[in-house]
Amino acid sequence: MEIIIQSDPQSASQVGARIIAGLIKKKPDAVLGLATGSTPVLLYRELIRMHREEALDFGRVTVFNLDEYIGLSPEHSASYRHFMYENLFRHVNLNPERTFIPDGMAKDIPRFCLRYEAQIRQAGGMDLQVLGIGTDGHIGFNEPSSSLASRTRIKTLTAETLADNARFFDCPENQPRHVITMGVGTIMEASRVLLLAFGEKKAAAVAEAAEGPVTAMHPASVLQFHPAATFLLDEAAAAGLKKHQYYRWVYDHKPDWQQS
Ligand code: PGA
């Protein structure tokens, strides 16, 4: 696991955007797994800047999003389809036919989930998956106790996640409790994983994920088993890490031949 600590969310997001841009330049038809929430907004802003100012080309890229609320239409302002459209899709040259987001309005959700998994497989699997982390350790919407081998399916949100995301809804009755999420097993098959976390509110979850025991009670901890997982943190989110100084030294002295 590589842990990159930057002074602020802006610089950490720039590091992430450079990694993604490098992948797209090397593999113009890359398959990206994308995330929503407050965390990746600066990352997407930097990718948009690179598209506008440096001609970063998304024309052949395919994207699969991690999750979506059940019962929200794509037009709903809190839906993740809407979020992705506003924060990335409408600003870059992604082909709409290659933007996949779970359909929270699907009539037969278990069947939809199987199809989503098949679509990921048909696309060749994710080259890189972007993740945030919940204060309860979730990745995607895989809440504590999620099977570490799980695939795309329905999950029920914890009280903690409901409270964390209440700000996106005008009243609690309108906040869905059920979601479709890629499974932990689905995420683990991505060739590379970039987990972003910012702010002191995430410090405990980050420390448990990187340095705690691997357990379904903290799903992000399974990334310790991923051969190419990178955590991109600001100082506040890194504050609980025991090996903080070591991670900083490693990154500051990373040999050129090891850069990615
Ligand atoms: P946030 O959510 O980026 O809004 O903090 C992260 C997550 O729940 O995965």
Give the tens place of pLDDT for each residue, 130-154: 999 999 999 999 999 999 999 999 9
For range 218-233, the mean pLDDT = 98
Categorize the per-residue pLDDT at 260 as very low, low, confident or very high, splitting at 50, 70 and 90: low
Q: Distance between terminal CA atoms of the chain? A: 14
Q: Which two tokens stand for residue 192?
A: 């590379």
At 158-202, the pLDDT tens digits run 999 999 999 989 888 889 999 999 999 999 999 999 999 999 999
For range 232-240, the mean pLDDT = 98
Ligand 1 within 6 A of CB of 140: no
Categorize the per-residue pLDDT at 128 as very low, low, confident or very high, splitting at 50, 70 and 90: very high
In 3-state terms, what secondary structure has residue 55?
Answer: coil
Distance 10 CA to ligand 1 centre (A): 16
Locate all alpha helices (DSSP H) within 37-137, ordered by sequence: 41-54, 80-87, 109-122
CATH fold of 2-255, please?
Rossmann fold (3.40.50)
- Residue-wise DSSP of 14-47: HHHHHHHHHHHHH-TT-EEEE--SSTTHHHHHHH
Catalytic residue positions? Answer: 67, 136, 138, 143
Categorize the per-residue pLDDT at 2 as very low, low, confident or very high, splitting at 50, 70 and 90: very high
Which ligand 1 atom sits closest to the C-alpha of 165? Answer: 4
Percent over 90 (pLDDT), the chain: 94
d(C-alpha 232, C-alpha 226), whole Å: 15
| Inter-residue contact 197 to 133 (CB < 8 Å) | yes
pLDDT at residue 256, rounded to an integer: 83
Categorize the per-residue pLDDT at 208 as very low, low, confident or very high, splitting at 50, 70 and 90: very high
Ligand 1 within 6 A of CB of 205: no
Distance 253 CA to ligand 1 centre (A): 30
For range 39-47, the mean pLDDT = 98
- Extents of the domains making up the chain: 2-255
Distance 133 CA to ligand 1 centre (A): 6
pLDDT at 259 over 90: no
Ligand 1 within 6 A of CB of 39: yes
Which ligand 1 atom sits closest to the C-alpha of 139? Answer: 9
At 68-81, the pLDDT tens digits run 999 999 999 999 99
Distance 140 CA to ligand 1 centre (A): 9
Ligand 1 within 6 A of CB of 219: no
pLDDT at residue 36, rounded to an integer: 97
For range 109-113, the mean pLDDT = 98
Which of 80, 129, 164 is the pocket-test mutation for ligand 1 (most atoms within 8 Å of CB)? 164
Using CA positions, which residue lies closest to atom 8 of ligand 1? 134
Distance of CA 14 to CAs 24, 26, 181, Å? Answer: 15, 18, 27
Using CA positions, which residue lies closest to atom 2 of ligand 1? 37
Which ligand 1 atom sits closest to the C-alpha of 39? Answer: 3
Distance 242 CA to ligand 1 centre (A): 23
Contacts of 118 (CB under 8 A, 6+ apart): none
Percent over 70 (pLDDT), the chain: 99
Question: What count of other Cβ atoms lies within 10 Å of the Cβ of residue 166?
Answer: 12
pLDDT at residue 97, rounded to an integer: 97
Which ligand 1 atom sits closest to the C-alpha of 161? Answer: 8
